[in-house]
Amino acid sequence: MARPSSGVLISVNGLGFPPQNLARVVVWEWLNEHGRWRPYTAAVCHHIENVLKEDARGSVVLGQVDAQLAPYIIDLHSMHQFRQDTGTMRPVRRNFYDPSSAPGKGIVWEWENDNNSWTPYDMDICITIQNAYEKQHPWLDLSSLGFCYLIYFNSMSQMNRQTQRKRRLRRRMDLAYPLTMGSIPKSQSWPVGTSSGQPCSCQQCLLVNSTRAASNAILASQRRKVHAGNSNGTLAVRQSSTFNGTALWAAGTGPAGGMAKMEQVRSPSGVQVTTFSRSQSAPTGTQLPGQNNLNRPGTQRVAILSTRASIPPGVPALPVKNLNGTGPVHPALAGMTGILMCAAGLPVCLTRAPKPILHPPPVSKSDIKPVPGINGICRKTKKKHLKKSKNPEDVVRRYIQKVKSPPDEDCTICMERLVTSSGYEGLLSHKGAKPELVGKLGKCGHVYHLLCLVAMYSNGNKDGSLQCPTCKAIYGEKTGTQPPGKMEFHIIPHSLPGHTESKTIRIVYDIPAGIQGPEHPNPGKKFTARGFPRHCYLPDNEKGRKVLKLLIVAWSRRLIFTIGTSSTTGECDTVVWNEIHHKTEFGSNLTGHGYPDPNYLDNVLVELMAQGVSEANLKD
């Protein structure tokens, strides 16, 4: 099978540069919490390259090219991505690939996740898939890259070799990644506009500019303190939030076996400086994991664990977090100060991180009231009783109309032309469902092979409903795979931020751990249920009560939760939220899951509608 084109990564002051006079495609990547390098889109990479040409030590405001990345800034000097609202920092790198590979041609391979949206593969996997596709291989084994998946090009699907679960994949054309030759000159100004040479006037860049001036003053002050400490036999040690909370120690921080005493100095901005004098052991030359060692997922995890092991006992590894709004330091100033001090090799330990207010003050039982207009205060779901399954072909035929003269376009399920046979021919056989038959869905009018719709239905929940894979229109009553549990709801005498005129509806979900059923990813295997009971909050007003009624309908249809992989912890076979957002912070909105949020109730109504739960269900 095809191998990926090797990404050449040469480090020069933290930036990778290709050999002189050698054309390379540039792909910027960030390190996620699972130790895997994830590529930015081609448009974002072009934007980063444009800024890099002007100032190799400046900052890149990602929101200027992608609105979804508005909170993020890349500091090119320290090679870190900084999220302004949470203060989270992640390493980034500049990687190079052959111009004839997938990124050079603008080809992106993606797989369909549990949210029915598309996720791009890591760049090395994307290149491997494209190489096999160009050589017309019928299938591809990804085990050589550390993944237990098989890629089938005829059906455009990905199969887990252990669980036999299949997912759709697709190949699409996008903007080609930027091309470069040789090293890139540095500019004299920071930051600069894309064309005029003048600083950008957007709000984010103005904030970054104002931050730099204040940060430089702090840096100068800290350098004087560190220099004075070194002259008195004290050795400064750098502590940063690289790898999301782990400390990285600069190489050569002291002689082997040297003794140091830890001291802390606080700057006027509230930044703690950690130093070691020679009375206890200091870290001795622990080398940072090289970027070339992080090309494989397994190696990345080992590198991160070895980094954590290098932290001396008793020294806390604190992530850089934004400070509370009531503190003396502006959150953005605190975060950017952390980036610049790390880049200068100075110690960083930003304190007074804000804590979310998850729960209301204690409430007595006598103050808890039922929600008006809703019977009872509790709903339970039991284990699903499997009924005699309906014939998949009969279910599909109920919602489609036969098309005698199909259009000459692709079936978006099998990616074969509609005028030819289905890609599932030979893989799936049903009486009457001939591979060349084509049908049109009644509501939305999208056209597919009948056999492809039968295959899609057979691979789903098989509950008698069908969902269009193109527009997500739902035919029938959609049900989910939520495990058995209990949902409670009542009114408490406290108000949410932004809703001071009303009391609060509290929802309590409780799902115990158990064994997966036949509708789950791994039948017969245990699943975990972390963080239960989970408390959620709605304002006690007309719209809040309507949302509660619809959530009760979604709960009865088993749509609130599902079993899958946690996007927070990476844990598999655990209970996770299922595309219907809830507010779990009572008195703050630090994580984005709290109040005030003036658009939340409208947004959750749209999400419920996408699951087939609407006001029409309340009338029924």
- SS3 call for 335: helix
**294: alpha, beta or left, given left = phi > 0 and alpha = psi -120 to 50?**
alpha
Percent of the residues in the chain that have a pLDDT greater than 90, as a whole number: 35
Of the candidates 108, 121, 117, the one whose C-alpha atom is nearest the C-alpha of residue 297 is 121
For residue 448, pLDDT beyond 50 = yes
Show Cβ contacts of residue 378 under 8 Å, excluding neighbours closer than 6 positions.
486, 487, 488, 489
Q: What is the 3-state secondary structure (H, E, C) of 25-39?
A: EEEEEEECCCCCEEE
Read off the DSSP letter of residue 105. H
Higher pLDDT, 561 or 271: 561
Distance CA 133, CA 128 (A): 9
Q: Give the pLDDT confidence score for residue 23 in this predicted structure.
A: 82
Distance CA 95, CA 27 (A): 5
Distance CA 46, CA 52 (A): 10
355-371 pLDDT tens trace:
788 899 999 999 999 99
Q: What value does the mean pLDDT take over residues 174-203?
A: 53
Distance CA 580, CA 603 (A): 9
Give the containing element (helix H, strand E) for 400: strand 400-402
Q: How confident is the model at residue 342 (pLDDT cuts 50, 70, 90)?
A: low
Q: Give the pLDDT confidence score for residue 53 in this predicted structure.
A: 86
Distance CA 406, CA 390 (A): 27
Residue 29 identity = E
Strands 504-510 vs 485-492: parallel, antiparallel or unpaired: antiparallel
Higher pLDDT, 304 or 181: 181
What count of Cα atoms within 13 Å lies in the side-chain half-sphere of residue 538? 25
**612: alpha, beta or left, given left = phi > 0 and alpha = psi -120 to 50?**
left
142-165 pLDDT tens trace:
888 878 899 999 999 999 887 888
Q: Give the pLDDT confidence score for residue 428 in this predicted structure.
A: 65
Which tokens belong to 85? 């609202």
Q: What value does the mean pLDDT take over residues 4-16?
A: 43
**445: alpha, beta or left, given left = phi > 0 and alpha = psi -120 to 50?**
left
For residue 385, pLDDT beyond 60 = no
Structure-token match 């850089």, residue found: 320
- Asked whether 72 and 337 are in contact (CB, 8 A), the reply is no
Q: Average pLDDT over the chain, rounded to whole?
A: 74
Q: Give the pLDDT confidence score for residue 348 in this predicted structure.
A: 53
Q: Give the pLDDT confidence score for residue 294 in this predicted structure.
A: 34
Residue 160 identity = N
Distance CA 597, CA 599 (A): 6
